[in-house]
Amino acid sequence: MISQRARYAFKALVALSRVPVGESLQTKDIAEREGIPRAFLEHIMLDLKRDRLVGSRRGKNGGYFLLKPPSEIIFGEILRLIDGPLAPLPCLSRHAYKRCEDCADETTCAVRCAFADVFQAMLGVLDGLSLADAIERSDRARAGLPGYGANPYSGAFI
């Protein structure tokens, strides 16, 4: 499960993506529209700003805006920023690598072998998916086109 914080961040970024280029949104508006606690969202927006995903203007008519086109803002990147490393095991993380104290030999660890596959599958999607992609899928679902909604229950899900 991703954190609530991350989920809010995604919703805010999607909202910002839907706004015409050059315009901005205020936390108050985003919070209201998306049902996010305002004070909490402020902190999240600052996180996003710190990582140069959004820019801001203070004072009256201020607000937040994307610093890159939505097609260049990647889900994996956002999730890493908010929730930290994505790797299922510390010994699989590139940037936050940490050896498992109890593991004799990393390269032949069966658990690591298994989760390496899982990780690769996750990253394949996560690092190839932009805000623009997500919005496109959402819009197609809205238009009622079959096969494009987020209805995963056609497969064997849990």
DSSP state string for 19-32: SPTT--B-HHHHHH
Contact 106, 91 (CB under 8 A): yes
Stretch that binds DNA, among 13-21, 25-33, 127-135, 144-152 (CB under 7 A): 25-33
Q: Which does 58 bind (CB under 5 to 8 A by kind): a second copy, DNA, none?
A: DNA
Q: Which stretch binds DNA (CB under 7 A): 9-17, 51-59, 118-126, 143-151?
A: 51-59
How far are the Cα atoms of 4, 23, 63, 143, 158 from residue 35, in angstroms, in the given order?
Answer: 12, 21, 18, 24, 27
Which of DNA, a second copy, none interacts with 28 (beta carbon under 5 to 8 A by kind)?
A: DNA
Residues numbered 53-72 forming contacts with a second copy, rule: CB under 8 A: none
* Closest approach of a second copy to the CB of residue 141, in Å: 5
108 is a contact residue toward a second copy (CB under 8 A): yes
Q: Would you say the C-alpha torsion 46, 51, 54, 59 has a positive or negative sign?
A: positive
* Binding footprint of DNA, residue count (CB under 7 A): 26
Q: Is 49 in the site for DNA (CB under 7 A)?
A: yes
Alpha carbon distance 33, 15 (integer Å): 9
By CB under 8 A, residue 40 contacts a second copy? no
Choose the one of DNA, a second copy, none that binds residue 57, judging by a C-beta under 5 to 8 angstroms depending on kind.
DNA
DSSP one-letter string for 97-126? ----TT-S-GGG-HHHHHHHHHHHHHHHHH
| Bridge partners, 130 (sequence order) | 74
Residue 129 binding a second copy, by CB under 8 A: yes
